[in-house]
Amino acid sequence: SEQAAEQEQQALALLQQAAPAKNVTEAAAAAVKSLAPALSSKAPTANRVQLMGASPMTREQVTAKHASQGMPSSSATSEDPYRAPVYHSFSIFDASSRLFEDFDYDGFYQTFSVTFDVDVNGAYLNERADLFAELYLSRNGGPWVHYYTTDVFTIYGDSTQDDYEVLTTLYTGYATDHYDVLIDVYEVGYSDIVATISADETDGLYALPLESSDRDREPDVIVVEESGGSLSVLGLLFLGLCAGLRMNRTRG
């Protein structure tokens, strides 16, 4: 079929563009890996987080914890890519947020999502990399406080089909205020940050109006019945009945 022929031509072109390999098998594997994101229609990954107001770590504590695990630094930190056995460079193409669930209609939300798209450059077209991210909140310009570690996710080159989304509900312990978001990205197996983005780089992560759900309650509805200025129909009928009884007694 035409589709099969087109895919074969793409594979041949990728084989020609691939970096020198030890054998044809390695070159073919690299071509298939590069074709993988183009042949799939993967939707953004979404994880729902429910924060209960625990005492999370600061950004400094999280980075120190990663550094203490004794893992090597990522090749992305090397100034000389030819000295690194596998060289990757990373960037966050875009990051944005959305707001959900404001039950008391005060403009502050208990549920929000953060979506980000990480790109990788390497030796091959549509290079693959396995990553995870640490997410932080800063209340009204305060310190960055950790709120979530993502699962491991895979990206391919500069594909637009590998966005990652985290949907979060704040249950308790978060005061009504504006919060900035920061995202640190790590390459699996390495100890250092390979890409980062925050409210300083994009308005999509700036000043999110948030509060925990214990502060986001629907207002009590109070129904008040009152009258004034004129008599009701029942009142007029009652007065008419009283007047009729009085006239009957007078005539008797």
**Whether residue 48 sits in one domain with residue 23:** no
**Whether residue 71 sits in one domain with residue 10:** no
71 exposed, middle or buried (CB, 10 Å; 0-12, 13-18, 19+)?
A: middle
Q: Is residue 172 part of a domain?
A: yes
Domains identified in the chain, total number? 2
**Whether residue 54 sits in one domain with residue 24:** no
Q: Is residue 251 part of a domain?
A: no
**Whether residue 29 sits in one domain with residue 71:** no
**Whether residue 110 sits in one domain with residue 19:** no
Q: The CATH number of the domain where 76 resides is what?
A: 2.60.40.10
Q: Is residue 229 part of a domain?
A: no
**Whether residue 69 sits in one domain with residue 27:** no
Q: Is residue 128 part of a domain?
A: yes
Q: Is residue 233 part of a domain?
A: no
**Whether residue 141 sits in one domain with residue 21:** no
Tens digit of each residue's pLDDT, the chain (252 residues): 554 455 555 544 443 443 344 444 344 334 333 443 333 334 455 666 666 655 789 999 999 999 998 888 876 665 555 555 567 889 999 999 999 999 999 999 999 999 999 999 877 788 899 999 999 999 999 999 999 999 999 999 988 888 999 999 998 889 999 999 999 999 999 999 999 999 999 999 999 999 999 898 865 555 555 555 554 555 555 556 555 555 555 555
Q: Is residue 25 part of a domain?
A: yes
**Whether residue 79 sits in one domain with residue 152:** yes
DSSP assigned state of 188:
T
What type of residue is 7?
Q
For helices 24-35 and 2-17, give the axis angle rounded to 10 degrees.
120
Q: Is residue 74 part of a domain?
A: yes
Q: Which domain holds residue 118?
A: 42-215
Q: What helix, strand, coil percent values describe the chain, rounded to 5?
A: 25, 30, 40
**Whether residue 104 sits in one domain with residue 204:** yes
**Whether residue 67 sits in one domain with residue 19:** no
Q: Is residue 245 part of a domain?
A: no
**Whether residue 156 sits in one domain with residue 51:** yes
**Whether residue 29 sits in one domain with residue 67:** no
Q: ∠ at Cα 114 (111, 119), nearest 5°? A: 170
